[in-house]
A = this chain, B = another copy of it.
Amino acid sequence: MEELPNILAQRYASNEMVSLWSPQNRILEERRLWVAILEAQKNAGLHISPEAIKAYKAVTENIDMDSIRAREAQTHHDVKARIDEFCALAGHEEIHQGLTSRDLTESIEQKLLLKSLKLILDKSISLLHVFSRRIDEFKTTPLVARTHNVPAQITTLGRRLAMFAEELLFAIEALEALIQRFPARGIKGAIGTQIDLYQLFDGDENKIKTLEKDILAWMGLTHACLTPGQIYPRSLDFSIVATFLQLSSGPASFAKTFRLMAGQGLASESFSKGQTGSSAMPHKNNPRLSERIASLQSILRGHLAQASDLLGNQWNEGDVACSAVRRVMLPDACFTLDGILETCAYIVAEASFNAEAMKAEVTQELPYLLSSSILAEATAHGVGREKAHDQIKKHMQMLHNKHGSLEEFLALIAKDTSLCISYDFIATLKANPLKAAGPAAKQTEALLRHISHCHKNTNNSLTPLKTQPL
């Protein structure tokens, strides 16, 4: 039977992210680590033959998955199978001295996680800049803001997008701090005590430190756990997945709002040539990519549940009750978030906003939208807040009941002397609804300045989407 593909890798994640987690790349990184350790052991004074190092190096990229699988089928132990394969290729038996399986597997997973985190960081910043461009484009485009999904006040389209961009920004800052804090598990042996290295170096702890420093440098990290068990604390995996969820939040709230806007005809995703909207309803332009983001986020919530299950569950010095979960969850969580970021960048960059429809909505809702400005104006002129509130509400309801026009409403307000609202105030609002958005545009500009100042974009090209929905 042929193999079932990983759907997340196949349909949603970028090739870059998928390659990182391929079985081949894992083995490649593992062999590089073995070689790095040989070199570090030599550097720390152990007798390692230069020929062996050379021989191992020469065959590092010579990866034959079938041969490895055959060995595993025999020994029932995956690390041993990979040791045997590498040794057979090199014709030496020097790697893995002073090591235990976990020294390998934990270090490789940390290396892959770290690379994934950095890739995610790049993409998140890149997405932030895609947002910035559209925010800047629409920072003064009036838009009906909604709370409870009901028209509330006036904002701008750029200001709306800025909400989601700032949420992403907060998450990026959390991710940066997480990468900073990331501790290597280190070469700590079967239960964390480094007994194997200790014997290998005849009890010379300075040599162990020398070796650890070299390996930290190879990992690209600055510090290691001091007292781990067989494994590094699984709450570190959890903190990664939790940060992924946080990173997905801005994009997902954007996508949810985008689906609402599509429902009102205010926005639509770009339509690729030849794309079919719906097999039964030829006219439809569905926000299917936005729906995809919701879907991917639900998947990520599953990964969070899995990660939260591992944490607090260590028995003694550790075991493999986390193994299958991590095999699945670590790459899949990376694929899922990768897919969310890619998809979001595509929607934001390509979205059409319907200027006419946005304007029409502002016009239609204006009387209602102005109510809080009128309330604020009344109280600014000394009218009791609660009295003004009741009075305005009365006028709104009258207007609503007889489908009155904006003019009729403003006339009612102006005539109501208990509210102390001048005709001038009303005329200004009517002529320039953006005045009712207050500092919306200024706030937006402050955010854009902050983004361009703190987060340089290193990755300007947008990857085309792998699969169209659904």
Contacts and interface: CB of A to CB of B under 8 A. Distances in A.
Interface string A224-260: 0111111001111011001101101111110011011
Contact of A191 (B153, B205, B292): B153
A275 B77 CA distance: 7
Interface in A93-146: 93, 96-101, 145-146
Contacts of A246: 235, 238-239, 242, 311
A376 B200 contact: yes
A249 B235 contact: yes
A53 to B, nearest CB: 17
Categorize the interface residue count of chain A.
35 or more
A150 B285 contact: yes
A288 B329 contact: no
Interface string A430-460: 0000001111101110110010000000000
Nearest to A290: B321
Given A280-B189, A312-B297, A195 B373 contact: yes
A319 B76 contact: no
Contacts of A437: 193, 195
Nearest to A339: B324
A298 interface: yes
Copies in the complex: 4
Contacts of A97: 379-380, 385
A-side binding surface: helix, strand, loop or mixed? helix
Q: Find the residue from A19, A173, A229, A368 having the highest chain B CB count within 10 A.
A: A229
A282 B375 contact: yes
Interface in A321-378: 321-325, 327-329, 331, 368, 371-373, 375-377
A222 interface: no
B100 A315 contact: no
Nearest to A227: B162
Nearest to A199: B376
A74 interface: yes
A280 B196 contact: yes
A316 to B, nearest CB: 4
B299 A147 contact: no
A440 to B, nearest CB: 4
A17 B93 CA distance: 41
A303 B322 CA distance: 16
A91 interface: no
A84 B389 CA distance: 13
A443 B226 contact: yes
A3 B9 contact: yes
Given A145-B229, A150-B284, A281-B372, 14 more contacts: A1-B19, A3-B9, A4-B331, A93-B385, A96-B385, A145-B316, A147-B229, A150-B262, A152-B281, A162-B227, A189-B280, A260-B316, A298-B324, A301-B308
